[in-house]
Structure 1
Amino acid sequence: MLYNYIMLAQAQHPAVPGFLIIPFLILIGMIASGPVLFGHFWEHNYKKVAITLGLTVLAYYLFILHDVHMPIHTFFEYASFAVLLSSLYIAAGGIYLNVNARATPLMNVALVAVGAVLANLIGTTGASLLLIRPFIRLNNHRIKPYQIIFFIFIVSNAGGLLTPLGDPPLFIGFLKGVPFFWTLQHLFIPWILSIGLLCLLFFLVDSRNKETAFTPRPEVVEKNDAKTEFHFTGKRNLFWLAVIIAAIFLDPNVIDGLPHIFYDGNKFSYLREVIQLTAAFFCFRFSSKTALAGNHFNFHPILEVVFLFFGIFFTMMPALQLSAEIASSPAYAQYITPNFLYWATGSLSGFLDNAPTYANFLSLGMAKFELSQNSVVDVRHFAEGTSVAGLDTLVQLEAISLAAVLFGAFTYIGNGPNFMVKAIAESAGIKMPSFFAYILRYSIPFLLPILVMVWFLVVHLRLF
């Protein structure tokens, strides 16, 4: 989808100049360094910075390049992203789940493992927002940043590998024609491998955490040791949560007759967004006050995500176009292999948001076999493993899907829930690592070896 928009814009308008990626680099640099080097300024001005940089790139497209195609498509993608994330945040904020148990490494692993399964039913965003607060409360006497980061690795990203509901890139594939159960059939073993290894690493690291911020009262310890109890408030919000998730399927490109905005040969939904915002309103209006108070609910985390990702979506337009232009060059056609698709899709997914990156490389991978992602039949042939020139297209799609989902955890901006979980943790008083500290201290030593292992066993050797 996005790849076709990029190619259309390149055919009708001048090539994007390389210097136009500077605003994106500035924004990423400020997200990384702002909270550490100039925290007071950043806290009070991040909205202005993100909006200014995003509008600067937008103005260049409109008034210098005279390109309205890419900005309009980006706007609709951003609107869908912001509405879904905001709706889920509000719905989850009115659901109070508390676990009375000892915060042992085994209990923590069990909770994130449940989150990994749940992510395939209500999405990584829904599972993250539903479980992050109970996870923090469970560990409130021994909470550390690494626990939040492993939660991001497992629940907010890798967990959603089994269904199109799990992660936005897979949902894009489903809308394009990839069968609903294709991910469960072909990615189950990689899911078991990645979740199992991440849970094992989490258990080993968490077992070394002997520190406590305070000592629980003896009667609390005795109660938690005797019996594990779950307290749940806000059951009515489960209905609205289901409405928000079900509305995701209301895509006019899939279901004929739905109200839509038609532009540039594409149908853009607004009914879906109206339903989600309406459900979010009723969630907040009729939410249990006890649940909201127990979650210390406020709008600061979601506002931070909405404003920062406005800047990210619009400033990354040139980066996406330039990467697509390079990758689609005939000089690079010979390098479009499963190995290349895994590492290229993954590298960009970690820094440019994994949903548009998936769409980009899906189109690129199919183009090599003279297939079009605008054709549902072609996409199904691609997913089923049609042999073209002695190569199996199924391997290509597996590489793209695995990389888009798993590498989404590599940075805070790789996937929407990452930044949301970070913001909620910080609002709870947890000092989270900076952008680069996250990568250097956690992604590289813990996540990268698993990404390499998945590539070597699944994509390169084809053992599963």
Structure 2
Amino acid sequence: MTCPRGFSSPGWRYRLLWGLKGRIRGDLTTVTFSLFGRTSLRVLIASLSCIVAAPTAAFAAGAGAPHLDGGTLGLIWVVPFAGILLSIAIFPLVAPHFWHSHFGKVSAVWALAFLIPFTLVQGYELALFELLHVGFLEYLPFIILLLSLFTVAGGVRVTGTLKGTPAVNTLILLIGTLIASWMGTTGAAMLLIRPILNANAERKNKVHVVVFFIFLVANVGGSLTPLGDPPLFLGFLKGVDFFWPTTNMFLPMVLVSSFLLVLFFAVDSFLHKREGGLEAPAEAVSEGGEPQEKLGLDGKINILLLGGVIGAVLLSGIWKPGIDFTIFHVHIELQNIARDVLLLAIAGLSLIVTSKENRDANGFSWFPIVEVAKLFAAIFITIVPAIAILKAGTDGAMGIIVSSVSNEAGEPLNVMYFWATGILSSFLDNAPTYLVFFNTAGGDAVNLMGPRADTLLAISAGAVFMGANTYIGNAPNFMVRAIAEERGVAMPSFFGYMAWSCVILMPIFVVVSFVFF
């Protein structure tokens, strides 16, 4: 590449800027168009068109932002959300080729199946507000964070000979579980999923490795700090002490992790032995007779960039300049804009400092993040009425669930808080579900850390642990599945994965209920 006039200086700033222009134009342009390409543009145009064309809703002018009253919504409004979930569950089984080529269109159909009737019934102002609200405040931050972690972690490659023996696999799961609370479940999952897939590339049985990886690294491991999982970060923003989860969630996390690690080692040892595998000796040699390559890391600069991602997320939670921008009643705070810009800049920097050869050797491609972006766009849109109904509490169509967490005297039933928060977090976004039950329990962080500490523990454990029950229970679950399938791992279907979680996780959660609640 020839630098333009004035940029021939050897200074790193010029090289960085010119490299940014070339690399990002090639890579990020590709993924951006893939994420928000033809299908998404059509959905956006169609959505805005139907919103503009529909009649105005009947709410008082000048009353401020439109408000969606979940108490007025019936469960019929949840049908599009159930539709996208069933599509994710069924289409890959009955029509895999169609799904692989058209999942974005299916996602768009379900999004419009909610938006068009919602606009006609509730009015274009409320529909536009909800679309902008979920887009700017929830979906875009979600996908930008995933994109940055996916890009940065995809630049870290474990070199050398790493064999997927039961001991090595269990060690990787243990390391992932330990670091997930400090770099987030998504960060830990994106960092370690490729190494563990590479280590088990020659194994015949490896589905169980990915399933337990989702259980431990993508969920349970994020129990100990607000950095670990979004629900705990919301609690931190609500006034829960940073290290409250560390001291209170430690024993439940150790109990669940120990069960899972021991069970995994037993299952993996059985399958490894059945495959005829033996533990690799210390002085192992390759088939060609040469000593196996020592382990190492390529793209180590990305480890520092992962720290930058964590710092950007923390910045948005701690720095409060009191400046925001309003787009049709949606307030976008400056610290969140700064976070997202920093995350995109870090992703771009990772593309510059990591060679394409390294990413190719790591099996890196954009398809997993594209799939997640398109499917979760529909999930985030169609989930709007479900969350609104849940927030309506006992006045909503799910009032029986909310009322079940207290007895007749109004005292909390902690075991019900654990299961209600957990089961809903398995299918809805676990962060707002946590917040709903946090407020149901009084919403006072001081009281919930004191006399009601067991209630807060039940809510926290339910939201974090049971995010592992389905592929959509927590952000990295679906991403891990997508990466594994791209590597040729025949992952279980949506319901197939739930069979794994019911058989393995549910008995452990019953034990947690008896021991702690």
Q: Please give the secondary structure, in 2, of the residue aligned with 1:248.
A: helix
The answer to whether residue 204 in structure 2 is matched with residue 140 in structure 1 is no
1:74 aligns with 2:122: no
Which residue is equivalent to 1:248?
Answer: 313
Residue in 1 that maps onto 2:215:
153
Unaligned regions of 5+ residues in structure 2, if any? 1-65
Could you tell me which of 158, 178, 185 is aligned with 1:117? 178
In the TM superposition, what whole-angstrom CA distance separates every residue of 1:358-404 from its partner, at most 9, and x where no partner exists? 122111222xxxxx4xxxxx32x13421xxxxxx3211110010000
Are 1:257 and 2:257 counterparts? Answer: no
1:291 to 348, 358, 382: 358
The answer for the alignment partner of 1:415 in structure 2 is: 474
Q: CA deviation at 1:187?
A: 0.7
How far the C-alpha of 1:260 sits from its partner, in A, is 3.3
**Structure 2 match to 1:443:** 501
Q: Does 1:338 align with 2:398?
A: no
What SS does the aligned partner of 1:257 have? coil
Partner of 2:296, secondary structure, is strand
**Which of residues 2, 6, 9 in structure 1 aligns to 2:67?**
9
Are 2:149 and 1:88 equivalent residues in the alignment?
yes
- Whether contact under 8 Å (1:261, 1:270) holds in the other structure is no
Structure 1: state its 5+ residue gaps: 1-7, 367-371, 373-377, 386-391, 460-464
* Letter of the structure 2 residue corresponding to residue 15 of structure 1: T
Kept in 1: contact 2:286–2:292 (CA 8 A): no
Letter in 1 for 2:164: A
Deviation of residue 14 (structure 1)? 7.4
Determine the C-alpha separation between the residues in 1 that align with 2:175 and 2:105.
39
How far apart are residue 239 of structure 1 and its match? 2.5
- When structure 1 is superposed on structure 2, of 268-277 and 151-160 the one drifting more is 268-277
Q: Let me know the Cα RMSD of the aligned residues.
A: 2.8
- Of 46-55 and 265-274, more deviation after overlay is shown by 265-274
Q: Write the mapping of 1:352-391 to structure 2, written as runs, cut at 5 A.
A: 352-366=428-442, 372=443, 378-379=444-445, 381-385=446-450
SS in 2 for 1:94: coil
Identify the residue that residue 25 of structure 1 maps to in structure 2.
82
Deviation, structure 1 residue 327: 4.2
| Contact 1:169 1:354 survives alignment (8 Å) | yes
State the alpha-carbon separation in 1 of the partners of residues 514 and 363 from structure 2: 44
Counterpart CA distance in 1 for 2:184 and 2:236 is: 14
Q: Percent identity?
A: 37
Whether the 8 Å CA contact 2:285–2:292 is kept in 1: the answer is no
Q: Is the 8 A contact 1:129 1:421 kept in 2?
A: yes
Q: CA deviation at 1:154?
A: 0.4
Q: Identify if the C-alpha distance between structure 1 residues 19 and 417 changes in structure 2 by more than 3 Å, giving closer, same or farther.
A: same
State whether residues 164 and 196 of structure 2, in contact with CA within 8 Å, keep that contact through their aligned partners in structure 1. Answer: no
| Structure 1 residues 181 and 384: CA distance shift in structure 2, 3 A | same
The separation in 2 between residues aligned to 1:230 and 1:71, in whole angstroms, is: 48
Aligned: 1:202 with 2:264:
yes
Give deviations 1:124-161, integer Å, cap 9, x for gaps.
10100100110011111214211100000000000110
**Match for 1:176: what amino acid?**
K
| 1:311 equivalenced with 2:378 (yes/no) | yes
User: How far apart are 1:423 and its partner, in Å?
Assistant: 0.4
Compute the displacement of 1:222 (Å): 11
Partner of 2:184, secondary structure, is helix
Residue from 282, 289, 298 that aligns with 2:349? 282
Matched letter for residue 454 of structure 1: V
Contact between 2:368 and 2:479, CA under 8 Å: does it hold in 1? yes
How far apart, CA to CA, are the structure 1 residues paired with 2:270 and 2:258? Answer: 19
- Provide, for residues 255-311 of structure 1, a one-character-per-residue CA deviation record: whole Å limited to 9, x for no partner: 221653357696542111111011111111331233202211110000111111111
Task: Give the aligned partner of residue 393 of structure 1.
Answer: 452
Distance 1:213 1:148, change over 3 A: farther
Using the size of structure 2 for normalisation, the TM-score is 0.78
Task: Write the letter of the residue equivalent to 1:219.
Answer: V
Write out per-residue CA displacement over residues 319-353 of structure 1, whole angstroms, 9 at most, x where no aligned residue. 22223335467882744521221111101111112
Paired position in structure 2 for 1:369: none
Return the offset for 1:97: 1.6
User: Could you say which residue in structure 2 is the equivalent of 1:232?
Assistant: 297
Residues in 1 aligned to 2:264 and 2:287: alpha-carbon distance in whole angstroms: 23
Q: Note if contact 2:220-2:253 (Cα within 8 Å) is conserved in structure 1.
A: yes
1:146-188 CA-to-partner distances (Å, cap 9, x unmatched) read: 1100000000000110111111111111112111101001111
Confirm or deny: 8 A CA contact 1:411 1:438 kept in the other structure. Answer: yes
**TM-score for both structures, normalised by structure 1:** 0.86
- Give the match for residue 188 of structure 1: 250
Q: Which residue in the other structure is 1:57 paired with?
A: 114
Stretch deviating more after TM superposition (181-190 or 56-65): 56-65
The 5-angstrom pairing of residues 33-44 of structure 1 reads 33-44=90-101
Q: Which moved more, 1:104-113 or 1:188-197?
A: 104-113
Tell me which of 154, 161, 164 is aligned to 1:100: 161
Distance 1:259-1:241 versus aligned 2 partners, 3 A rule? farther
Q: 1:91: how far off?
A: 0.4
**Residue 223 (structure 1) shift:** 8.9
Match of 2:515 in 1: 457
- Give the AA of the match of 1:87: S
Q: Give distance in 2, aligned partners of 1:451 and 1:189.
A: 13
Separation (CA, whole Å) in 1 of partners of 2:233 and 2:383 = 21
Distance across 2 between alignment mates of 1:265 and 1:71: 10
Q: Secondary structure at the match of 2:325?
A: strand
Q: In the aligned structure 1, how far is the partner of 2:275 from the partner of 2:483?
A: 21
Q: Does 1:220 align with 2:279?
A: no
Q: Distance in 2 between matches of 1:223 and 1:97?
A: 22
Number of residue pairs matched? Answer: 432
Shift in Å, 1:247: 0.6
Q: Classify 1:256/1:102 alpha carbon distance in 2 versus 1 (closer, same or farther; 3 Å).
A: closer
Q: Residues 258-273 of structure 1 correspond to what in structure 2 (within 5 A)?
A: 259-262=323-326, 268=333, 269-273=336-340
Instruction: Check if 1:323 corresponds to 2:381.
Output: no
